[in-house]
């Protein structure tokens, strides 16, 4: 009998990244989702194809032995979890509270069925301390017996999601609800210290100790630079990420922002810079993948979340400041986010624009962005906002960043 893997969330990351890893290793992958079209298609076809795209061409990977479980039926979803040998979530941080009671019921069913073996939940969300959040959510739905099993035998394993899987257009999705497109990169570091029992040996799945480094590298280096590229690209009128990163001014600012985060990572975790630099070069290359078709509108959407105190922009600025690194270039992307208009239905961006209208950018950065204790970053943002409002363009934004850098060096008696 095949081992069973339950994937909560059959969206782009679930189908385009996590599910294929386990299916490739011989697992029966069961996808739980509320999208009936996706569930019906999975159950009808029992397979789907992932388009692996690059500037060199397209390859195709068939993912077989899959099925779907309708997430709108909590009993069915909990049953799938109870039967699984391992599971993952890829639903979005805002949805975790909705699925927590279903996961709790799945754990109760496991106990009822006599399963007390270790069970790992791989958390594939772009969220700091996602394990703590999910633990608190699930814990509140458990009785004493199930809570004991949960604490002793269930691993809440954070993951660093590096693969880029853009949203398929509504037109393409209408033709095929299972269509998914991804880049070739397919590595999944997970928190080795959170694992209960042992994770299966799966190609691309890498249990790593000291996982705080990997979480912050993903959020404050990868996600930060991706968002910065989107916001600076949007200011310049670029539609796609590959266009934005192809602009030498934006590329240089993204690279320097990444170096700021890399320096903070190196100081905080004792990882040599030469161990981080290849990751920066790899990301800059991958952002130039035209075939992904990723847009500034998608990557930049929901500035309310992305400007949050623990998220990729303000969070990166705070992280650098705490490590003694001046977030000069990070703050350029942070400021550009306030000039991002968003698209139809982008509620988070509309909310930030309303907050700025009512309180001003500085107040939003202090309160929502958690930067009240980081006065230099607030000063950098104010200066960049002046450049952007004057319509001077990215080259002048770069000039301002270089001016700030020279001032810092003079202040430190470096030059």
* Residue 243 shares a structural domain with residue 355: yes
> What DSSP line would sit under 276-340, residue for residue?
THHHHHHHHHHHT-GGG--BHHHHH--HHHHTSTTSTTHHHHHHHHHTT---HHHHHHHHHHTT-
Q: How many domains does the chain contain in total?
A: 2
* Residue 270 shares a structural domain with residue 323: yes
313-334 pLDDT tens trace: 999 999 999 999 999 999 999 9
Residue 394 reports pLDDT greater than 90: yes
Q: Give the CATH number for residue 43.
A: 3.40.50.720
Q: 134 with 171: CB under 8 angstroms?
A: no
* Residue 201 shares a structural domain with residue 302: no
* Residue 60 shares a structural domain with residue 98: yes
Which of 175, 208, 241 is the C-terminal boundary of a domain?
208
Q: What is the pLDDT of residue 99?
A: 98
In which domain, by residue range, is 242 found? 212-411
263-312 pLDDT tens trace: 999 999 999 999 999 999 999 999 999 999 999 999 999 999 999 999 99
* Residue 18 shares a structural domain with residue 32: yes
* Residue 169 shares a structural domain with residue 102: yes
Q: 3 with 168: CB under 8 angstroms?
A: no
Residue 348 reports pLDDT greater than 70: yes
* Residue 84 shares a structural domain with residue 51: yes
* Residue 220 shares a structural domain with residue 189: no
pTM: 0.93
Q: Which two tokens mark 65?
A: 């032995």
């Amino acid at each position: 009998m095949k081992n069973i893997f339950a994937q909560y969330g059959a969206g782009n990351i679930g189908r385009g990244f996590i599910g294929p890893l386990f299916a490739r290793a011989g697992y029966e992958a069961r996808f739980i989702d509320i999208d009936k079209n996706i569930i019906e298609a999975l159950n009808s076809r029992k397979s789907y194809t992932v388009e692996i795209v690059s500037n060199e061409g397209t390859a195709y990977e068939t993912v077989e032995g899959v099925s779907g479980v309708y997430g709108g039926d909590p009993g069915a979803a909990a049953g799938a979890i109870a039967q699984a040998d391992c599971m993952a979530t890829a639903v979005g941080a805002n949805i975790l509270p909705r699925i927590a009671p279903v996961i709790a019921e799945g754990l109760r069913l496991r106990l009822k069925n006599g399963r007390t073996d270790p069970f790992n939940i791989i958390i594939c969300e772009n969220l700091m301390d996602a394990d703590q959040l999910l633990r608190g959510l699930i814990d509140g739905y458990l009785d004493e017996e199930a809570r004991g099993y949960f604490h002793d035998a269930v691993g809440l394993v954070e993951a660093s999601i590096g693969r880029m899987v853009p949203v398929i257009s509504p037109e393409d999705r209408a033709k095929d609800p299972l269509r998914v497109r991804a880049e070739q990169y397919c590595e999944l570091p997970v928190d080795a210290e959170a694992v209960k029992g042992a994770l299966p040996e799966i190609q691309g799945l890498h249990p790593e100790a000291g996982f705080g480094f990997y979480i912050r590298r993903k959020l404050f280096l990868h996600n930060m630079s991706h968002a910065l590229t989107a916001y600076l690209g949007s200011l310049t009128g670029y539609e796609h990420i590959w266009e934005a990163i192809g602009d030498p001014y934006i590329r240089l600012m993204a690279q320097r922002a990444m170096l700021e985060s890399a320096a903070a990572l190196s100081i905080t975790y004792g990882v040599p810079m030469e161990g981080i630099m290849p990751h920066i070069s790899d990301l800059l290359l991958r952002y130039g993948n035209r075939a992904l078709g990723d847009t500034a509108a998608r990557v930049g959407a929901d500035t309310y979340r992305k400007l949050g105190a623990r998220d990729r922009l303000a969070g990166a600025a705070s992280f650098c400041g705490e490590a003694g690194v001046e977030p000069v270039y990070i703050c350029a992307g942070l400021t550009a986010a306030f000039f991002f208009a968003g698209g139809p239905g982008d509620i988070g961006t509309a909310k930030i624009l309303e907050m700025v209208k009512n309180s001003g950018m500085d107040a939003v950065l202090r309160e929502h962005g958690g930067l009240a204790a980081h006065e230099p970053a607030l000063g950098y943002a104010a200066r960049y906002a002046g450049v952007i409002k004057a319509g001077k363009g990215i080259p002048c934004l770069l000039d301002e960043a270089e001016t700030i850098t020279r001032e810092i060096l003079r202040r430190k008696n470096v030059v």
